[in-house]
Structure 1
Amino acid sequence: MKLTFLGTRGEIEKRTRRHRMHTSLMVSYRDADVMIDCGLDWLGKFERLHPKAIVLTHAHPDHAWGLRNGAPCPVHAPQKTWQSLTRCRIEDRHLIKERTPTKICGITFEAFSVEHSILAPAVGYRVSAGRASVFYVPDLVFIHDRAAALKNVQIYIGDGATVMRSFIRRRDKALIGHSPVRTQLTWCEKEGVPQAIVTHCGSEIVTGDEDKLSAKLRVIASERGVDMRIAYDGMKLKL
């Protein structure tokens, strides 16, 4: 299985050469390329990547609005995401049921519910092919059934909207927003995940001193027995 980080920028105005495009991941296995998320930056552009399928984590603009004019391939998403995308001209729609492993182009996707947004309920995906298994969750407060989601996962790919400070807010009884990278590294420690990659980068990373932040995070990760890096647009990884 090969991973290509097509985009690593969160829903912020600033962008750099390293973090230019909205967060998206291409998962490649054998002769198939499956794209996870297709935000507004990808409108009119993603077609040149020729994905055989697209999988969505949720319906926020930076994750799904690149599909407003439709898609030339099947699109897979949970029911709550489809309910928010009624205006997108997607003809070949497929439903992903949470906690039900679904094979798409030879790659297995299992959706786990996560807290993030009331208006755009989100999931993270356990993605497996061959002997490789990763968990991909670009936006979250926490993972429901985290132990099952991260069991025997080689790499956790998580939310870089905030590095140290919490961006979590309470709305009625729900929690919305983003957990800091520091907290996500602790989850990896508790669940025995050896590697972590930060994507969906926020202002701290995109406009700050990324080298200094990365070094600081590597120390925090090392204290938890985790190898960690910050992804950038175009980064490739083979498992």
Structure 2
Amino acid sequence: MKIEFLGTRGKVEPSAPKYRHHTGFLIDKKILIDVGEKQFMNRNPEAVVFTHFHPDHGYFISEDEKFNPGIPHYGPQEHPLIPDLQVITNKFTIKGYTFTPIPVIHAFKLKSLGYVVEKDDRKIFFTGDVAWIEKAHLAEIKGLDLIITEATMINKGGRINRKKDKIFGHTGVPDLVRIFSPLTKKIVFTHFGDWFFEDVESSLKRLGEFSSTELEIIPAHDGFQISI
């Protein structure tokens, strides 16, 4: 599988060259995961899959316009702006790619899903935005060739909010490394937060410090491609 990162900026005001667009992943030029920018649809994907419905993952939310692309499109829950959405309830297959949904804790009022995507004995986990993933769900994931996750917060613990016995927000890069390193030897970080844009070169070096002999850390940028 070849993954192209169409956008790598989180829901933040600052940007930088090569880090201007919001989230979107294009798998083998066929399947688009998240549509953070309207122009991503110009790539003519054959299907669209959403992790959750925040504006930096679905541009149409901030513009309050209907999303009806005329191709199969899937997401974790119904949304008033997506009349023909197919709601994901279990493992499903698109164009020969198997998607296994993984429940992810992120937003207070919205459902969020990550996806383990499999094809030709290759397996990639797109986590989406993460406050936490229950250990029982992680225990179901094995043999990953790559994890693609977020870097909104660089500090340990991230920014976690609590309300009505629920947590939501973004955990930190150190926590994600700890959680995911037993599952893979390669992690790509994207969805960069405010911290990243204070000094991009220094931030890239800071991310690189999480690499080890057993784990490769790769920071993505707009247009970055990786083949697995």
TM-score where L is the length of structure 1: 0.86
TM-align CA RMSD = 1.7
> In the TM superposition, what is the alpha-carbon distance from 1:215 to its structure 2 partner?
2.2
> In the TM superposition, what is the alpha-carbon distance from 1:111 to its structure 2 partner?
0.7
Cα distance in 2 for residues equivalent to 1:199 and 1:220:
15
SS at match of 1:62: coil
Cα distance in 1 for residues equivalent to 2:82 and 2:148:
30
SS at match of 1:63: coil
Would the aligned equivalents of 2:210 and 2:217 in 1 still touch at CA under 8 Å? no
Q: Structure 1 unaligned runs (5+)?
A: none
Q: Structure 2 unaligned runs (5+)?
A: none
> In the TM superposition, what is the alpha-carbon distance from 1:116 to its structure 2 partner?
0.6
Matched, 1:178 2:167: no
Number of paired residues? 221
> Deviations for 1:160-204, whole angstroms, at most 9, x for unmatched residues?
101124211111201110011111111122x23100111111111
Cα distance in 2 for residues equivalent to 1:221 and 1:179:
19
TM-score where L is the length of structure 2: 0.90
Matched, 1:217 2:207: yes
Matched, 1:37 2:37: no
> In the TM superposition, what is the alpha-carbon distance from 1:115 to its structure 2 partner?
0.7
User: Is the alpha carbon distance of 1:136 and 1:89 closer, same or farther for their aligned partners in structure 2, counting shifts above 3 Å?
Assistant: closer
Aligned counterpart in structure 1 of residue 51 of structure 2, from 41, 44, 57: 57
Deviates more, 1:159-168 or 1:5-14: 159-168
User: Which residue identity is paired with 2:42?
Assistant: R
> In the TM superposition, what is the alpha-carbon distance from 1:61 to its structure 2 partner?
1.2
Would the aligned equivalents of 2:207 and 2:219 in 1 still touch at CA under 8 Å? no
Give the structure with the higher percent helix.
Answer: 1
Matched, 1:76 2:66: no
* Percent of aligned pairs with the same amino acid: 26
Matched, 1:238 2:227: yes
> Deviations for 1:8-51, whole angstroms, at most 9, x for unmatched residues?
111111122211111110111xxx61000112xx23x2331101
